[in-house]
């Protein structure tokens, strides 16, 4: 289990199924706390181009279906499910408007023959953006407004005692109505390389990464809001980032990364969901 191996299989949901049309976007974007109104047609084009980059490493995309219970936040498929060595874990969303998403993931995975181990239920909440597997036996979890203690307890039970779960409590930052996941401040680039935004990183977590021998590429302050820290590894040291973060790009290249840049004015910037959020990796090499 890791977040940097060559992508072999992943789930995505296209804007055509998540947003469906401009009228749905117009009805939802304010209530979901988007910064601006996404353009539906542009979103569809941007998503297709992003998918082409992903397919260039040989990955198979499982497209998730539309459903009346979903809002356009269902574009950000990472959050509704997690993976572990024993199968998929369906999450329980911390954002109330997104509560319908995990069940639809579950139905689609079953149909595609992807084994589901179980789910987070009841008072427990976890969103996939708060989870990072560093290796087969080590997973880091952000304790955030979206991921609570009960959710983490249930997750530990599902993965079993032989997995080390490193819990890192994140700061309040912009508060409960904002989206602030562990993956807002760290994106794995390779086995020994992490892209980080240290100003919002809890000190013990940063020290833990360094003690594990990780090299850190720092995102500058000027590129944090433009999703500079949300970067998807599609293979070791081969990554996809959102346009408009030239300094972060330069720093990743200096660390030996091949960087693909995508336009994401409609699919990322308004809803604060970058390349990692738009994908639910299932199998990596
Ligand atoms: N993993 C992520 O950071 N996902 C981004 C989710 C954005 C979405 N607008 C949300 O508020 O949940």
- pLDDT tier, 220 (very low <50, low <70, confident <90, very high otherwise): very high
CA distances from 156 to 28, 140, 159 (A): 34, 11, 5
Going 264 to 265 to 266 to 268, the CA torsion angle's sign is positive
Instruction: Write the ipTM.
Output: 0.98
Residue nearest to ligand 1 atom 1, measured at CA? 129
Out of 75, 101, 179, 200, mutate this one to test ligand 1's pocket (max ligand atoms within 8 Å of CB): namely 179
**Overall fold of domain 7-178+264-284:** 3.75.10
Q: How far is the CA of 76 from the centre of ligand 1 (A)?
A: 6
Q: Which of 163, 199, 28 is nearest to 82 (CA)?
A: 163
Q: What percent of the chain has pLDDT over 90?
A: 99
pTM value is 0.97
Q: Can you tell me the distance from the alpha carbon of 180 to that of 144, in angstroms, rounded to the nearest whole number?
A: 7
What distance in angstroms lies between residue 74's CA and the mean position of ligand 1's atoms? 9
Report pLDDT for 245: 98
Ligand 1 atom nearest the C-alpha of 79 is 1
Average pLDDT over residues 111-134: 97
Strand pairing partners for 239? 233, 259
Mean pLDDT of 128-153: 97
Q: Supply the pLDDT for residue 27.
A: 98
* Over residues 89-110, mean pLDDT: 97
Among 213, 184, 204, CA closest to 276: 184
Span 232-257, pLDDT tens digits:
999 999 999 999 999 999 999 999 99
Would you say 87 and 115 are in contact if contact means Cβ atoms under 8 Å apart? yes
Nearest of 261, 151, 138, 140 to residue 204 by alpha carbon: 140
To which residue do tokens 């409590």 refer? Answer: 169
Task: State how far the Cα of 153 lies from the Cα of 244, in Å rounded to an integer.
Answer: 38
What pLDDT is attached to residue 250? 98
Q: Which residues line ligand 1 (CB under 6 A)?
A: 32, 73, 76, 78-79, 95, 98, 129, 179, 181, 183-184, 271-273, 277
C-alpha of residue 79 to centroid of ligand 1, in Å: 7
Report yes or no: 212 and 246 within 8 Å, Cβ to Cβ.
no
* Residue in 79, 130, 232 to alter for ligand 1 test, most ligand atoms within 8 A of Cβ: 79
First to last CA, the chain: 9
| Residue 75, pLDDT score | 98
Residue 70, classed as helix, strand or coil, is coil
| 42 Rama sector, left if φ>0, alpha if ψ -120 to 50, beta otherwise | alpha
Whether the Cβ atoms of residue 9 and residue 59 lie closer than 8 Å to each other: yes
% of the chain exceeding 70 in pLDDT:
100
């Amino acid at each position: 289990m890791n977040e940097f191996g060559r992508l072999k299989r992943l789930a995505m949901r296209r804007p055509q199924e998540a947003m469906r049309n401009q009228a749905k976007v117009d009805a939802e974007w304010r209530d979901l706390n988007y910064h601006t109104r996404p353009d539906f047609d542009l979103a569809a084009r941007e998503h297709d181009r992003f998918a082409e980059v992903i397919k260039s490493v040989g990955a198979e995309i499982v497209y998730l279906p539309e459903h009346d219970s979903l809002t356009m936040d269902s574009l950000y498929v990472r959050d509704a499910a997690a993976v572990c060595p024993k199968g998929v874990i369906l999450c329980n969303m911390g954002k109330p408007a997104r509560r319908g998403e995990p069940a639809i993931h579950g139905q689609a995975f079953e149909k595609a023959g992807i084994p589901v181990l179980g789910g987070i239920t009841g008072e427990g909440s976890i969103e996939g953006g708060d989870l990072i597997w560093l290796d087969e036996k080590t997973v880091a979890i952000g304790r955030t407004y979206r991921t609570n203690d009960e959710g983490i307890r249930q997750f530990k039970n599902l993965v079993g005692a032989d997995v080390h779960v490193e819990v890192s409590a994140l700061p309040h930052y912009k508060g409960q109505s904002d989206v602030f996941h562990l993956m807002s401040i760290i994106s794995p680039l390779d086995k020994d390389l992490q892209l980080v935004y240290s100003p919002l990183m809890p000190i013990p977590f940063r020290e833990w990464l360094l003690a594990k021998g990780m090299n850190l590429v720092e995102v500058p302050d000027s590129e944090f809001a433009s999703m500079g820290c949300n970067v998807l590894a599609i293979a070791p040291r081969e990554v996809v980032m959102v346009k408009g973060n030239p300094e972060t790009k330069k720093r990743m290249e200096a660390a030996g990364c091949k960087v693909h840049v995508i336009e994401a004015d409609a699919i990322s910037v308004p809803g604060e969901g970058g390349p990692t959020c738009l994908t639910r990796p299932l199998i990596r090499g």
